[in-house]
Structure 1
Amino acid sequence: MTSSVPADGRIVVVGTGVAGATAAQTLRSEGFSGSIVLVGEESEIPYRRTAVSKGLLSGKSDITRVALKPAAHWPDIDVELLTGTTVVDVDAAARTVTLSDGEHLGYDVLVLATGGRPRTLGPDHPRIHHLRAYRDVPALYERLAAGERLLVVGGGLIGSEVASTARDHSCAVTVLEAQTRPLARLLPEAVGSVVTELHKSAGVDLYTEVTLSTLEADDTGIVAVAADGRRWAADAAVVAIGMDPAIELAERIGARIDGGVVVDEWFRTSVDGVYAIGDVATIPHAALGGWYRCEHWNSALDHGAAVARSILGTGAPFGAVPWSWSQQFGSNIQVAGWPGADDELLVRGDLDGRDFTALCRRDGRLVGAVSIGRPKDIRAVRVLIEHAPFTTDRVLLDPETDLTALSAAARQ
């Protein structure tokens, strides 16, 4: 594969999350000597977004401590960082972007790392919060006081982490989940039951199979009303019901869209000279076929490095197995691959004791794993998913099997 940009060309990266920032960093570290412009609508320099629902919301960290690099790093590597700036239009034929201040920038290559926006519910009211960026943190943090009643709508990763942080601040927390258990679409039932017990043992009032009809707010508080008539009152609410990828720029230039911006294994969109990475990208499923979109921070990091090498002609087709982690109620939950609710489960360790690795099989193939307290297992399973997915149950379930050694052999 040859480079898609001249040595003195310009690459514009839209989005200062970890995907876009890593793309810019890798382009420079891999030897690109042309112009790199990194454009982001947030006023902050690139930071670790995973800290939003953890260290930043808890008050244990601040924005300077979670920066991906110090502010001086970007000019030091000759990356033009434009914060608080939005790309409002793209002309793919002329290869120009229009910025929110009216400036037009030409490009040889455009990388869309536009991420997404949280889905909303209820009116625009200061008692109803959404949590995706640092700007969302201060107002919600003010609500995390002892005795405050917090309603969390959605029991996914963000909702669960918010509930955990709020309980650490002695808030009274109620979680409303539409499915039968938290993370029901992601985790097999036995593992989902462990997460359910994490909530309950921490004092969270968890209600499942809840379909909300209204979420109302006024100066005195909020009221959530379910379709079956049940009602919950609280001082504030956090809506954590997922995100929608920011595909508007891609749509404007006619890129193929299917749940996100469709790319090939090199992160090329259907529009010449335009790439897409991170939460917004729908990528080929190297292991199972088809396509998928991944919203994990570590995957965005991998995308950023991979797209830089693709642009420079030094990369390989992307096929990394995703992984993520979540800190909830004192437990570190790690997930590898693509686990599903209906997968066959092979459990190493003790589910009830919250010391386990649950391996997920689908059609006889290892496709994912969920672990609490065993991070080495997750690193090993990622390799097995890619290189030895048909390892037998006998080997995987044998307590004498060292998964790290097994993965090392599989890699060779």
Structure 2
Amino acid sequence: MSTQGTVIVGAGLAGAKVAEGLREGGYADPITLIGDEPERPYERPGLSKEVLLGTDDASSLYVHDADWYEKKSVTTRFGMAANALNLSESTVSLENGDIIGYEHVVLATGSSPRMLPLDGSDLDGVHTMRRMPDTPAIKAHFGDGKKLVIIGAGWIGLEVAAAAKLAGTDVTVLEYAPLPLQRVLGDTLAAYMYDLHTDNGVDLRTNVSVTALKGDNGRVTGVDSSAGHFDADAVVIGVGAAPNTELAASAGLAVDNGVIVDEHLRTSHPAVLAVGDIALAQNTVTGAPLRVEHWDNAMRQGQLAAQTILGSGAVYDWQPYFFTDQFDFGMEYVGHGSSDDDVHVRGHLGSGEFIAFWSNDGRVTAAMNVNTWDVNDDLRAVIGHYVAPGRLTDEDVALGDLVS
């Protein structure tokens, strides 16, 4: 058995940022970074954005240069899954039988795409979007005369739909809810997203249940649904992701739709931390536990975990943030709103350039800038404050003065 100072299980963005934060903070003990993918850590958002669109290459997604880990004395075990965490012995076991000891362990095991219990889901040509090989596999089905069916109109499904349509593909999206992203955006903005896609030629069907995937000679040929049958050269399933909590749960850590951690990202065992998609973390700003599956959160929580190990006392004190680009729609969202919140729009939806605020009993819970840039810091400053709706929508009131 080898003995290591800190073992990081999960070599995505969050795990990479733990290693980076430790070394930048002067941590001199050994660091081991374990990942079940053969690739070194990379940023996932670009898989369904610029790389899928063809505006950038996959090599642009790597968090660090290839030689960074050796230069920083970070031992890497890429392409090697961890299959056991032994809290009493302070060890992590790998699938090849190696056992690594630790003083601290950080779980950054991420999430996996949810699959549907459908006949035909194992056919060739059925894809999810999560890992680097998924992008070229999906993109191979783009182009004139190709038919792509996407199940699920969440962020991933809609980004894939936009990229495919821009490449000339015949795109159908099947969504179970009445509107896309309704639980996140509420009716007004969900209807805006529906119009964005249908106006750009996407066949977006809502209130649809998918019943089976059909195939021939082991390859998918179509989708059966409550709205009828849709021919397909390929199918993308985008119905959300599930946190990879199996390692934590089997070790006896507290788990509830995520690994439960405090404001410092410590789990129920003081030597174990959890970050990123799997962390159900106590947020000191909202006063409630949050589990967030976005790039910004993975980056920040990786840095926070490093600070916790270094003893800084820093806490999880920021609002969630994410962004997307679809057709001519680019936006940034900050906060944690819900479909039950009131929505207030500054500007006009029809212009394609506006700001939306979500509020609950007068308290701003979230904000989104659409094709309006360099304002996200001002929006972030408004979250949590009580602002009259008329003031939020009044374009004569500067964003920086909303809480003055």
Do they fold alike, i.e. is TM over 0.5?
A: yes
1:79 to 60, 66, 74: 74
What CA distance in whole angstroms lies between the structure 1 residues aligned with 2:220 and 2:267? 46
2:57 maps to 62
What CA distance in whole angstroms lies between the structure 2 residues aligned with 1:370 and 1:78? 41
- What are the ranges of 5 or more consecutive residues in structure 1 without an aligned counterpart? 1-7
- What are the ranges of 5 or more consecutive residues in structure 2 without an aligned counterpart? none
What CA distance in whole angstroms lies between the structure 1 residues aligned with 2:381 and 2:232? 45
What CA distance in whole angstroms lies between the structure 2 residues aligned with 1:287 and 1:347? 24
Residue 193 of structure 1 aligns to a residue whose secondary structure is helix
Residue 398 (str. 1) matches residue 394 (str. 2): yes
1:385 maps to 383
What CA distance in whole angstroms lies between the structure 2 residues aligned with 1:29 and 1:148? 48
Residue 273 (str. 1) matches residue 271 (str. 2): yes
1:207 maps to 205
1:149-188 to 2 correspondences below 5 Å: 149-188=147-186
1:34-113 to 2 correspondences below 5 Å: 34-113=29-108
Of the structure 1 ranges 396-405 and 180-189, higher mean CA displacement relative to structure 2 is found in 396-405
Residue type of the alignment partner of 2:100 = L
TM-score under structure 2 length normalisation? 0.94
What CA distance in whole angstroms lies between the structure 1 residues aligned with 2:56 and 2:134? 15
1:224 maps to 223
1:297 maps to 295
Residue 395 of structure 2 aligns to a residue whose secondary structure is coil
1:320 maps to 318
Verify the 8 A CA contact 1:128 1:217 in the aligned structure 2. no
Verify the 8 A CA contact 2:347 2:393 in the aligned structure 1. no
Map Cα deviations across residues 15-60 of structure 1 (whole Å, 9 max, x no partner).
1111111111011101111111111111111111111112222333
1:262 maps to 260
1:308 maps to 306
What CA distance in whole angstroms lies between the structure 1 residues aligned with 2:181 and 2:81? 33
Residue 133 of structure 2 aligns to a residue whose secondary structure is helix
Verify the 8 A CA contact 2:362 2:389 in the aligned structure 1. no
Map Cα deviations across residues 113-170 of structure 1 (whole Å, 9 max, x no partner).
0001101134212211111010222221211122100000000000000001101110
What CA distance in whole angstroms lies between the structure 1 residues aligned with 2:201 and 2:330? 18
Verify the 8 A CA contact 2:353 2:372 in the aligned structure 1. yes
What CA distance in whole angstroms lies between the structure 2 residues aligned with 1:281 and 1:324? 17
1:4 maps to none
Q: Displaced runs of 4+ in structure 1, greater than 6 A?
A: none
Residue type of the alignment partner of 2:99 = H
TM-score under structure 1 length normalisation? 0.92
Residue type of the alignment partner of 2:312 = T
Residue type of the alignment partner of 2:90 = R
What CA distance in whole angstroms lies between the structure 1 residues aligned with 2:402 and 2:24? 33
Residue 369 (str. 1) matches residue 364 (str. 2): no
Residue 125 of structure 1 aligns to a residue whose secondary structure is coil
Residue type of the alignment partner of 2:386 = F
Verify the 8 A CA contact 2:280 2:290 in the aligned structure 1. yes
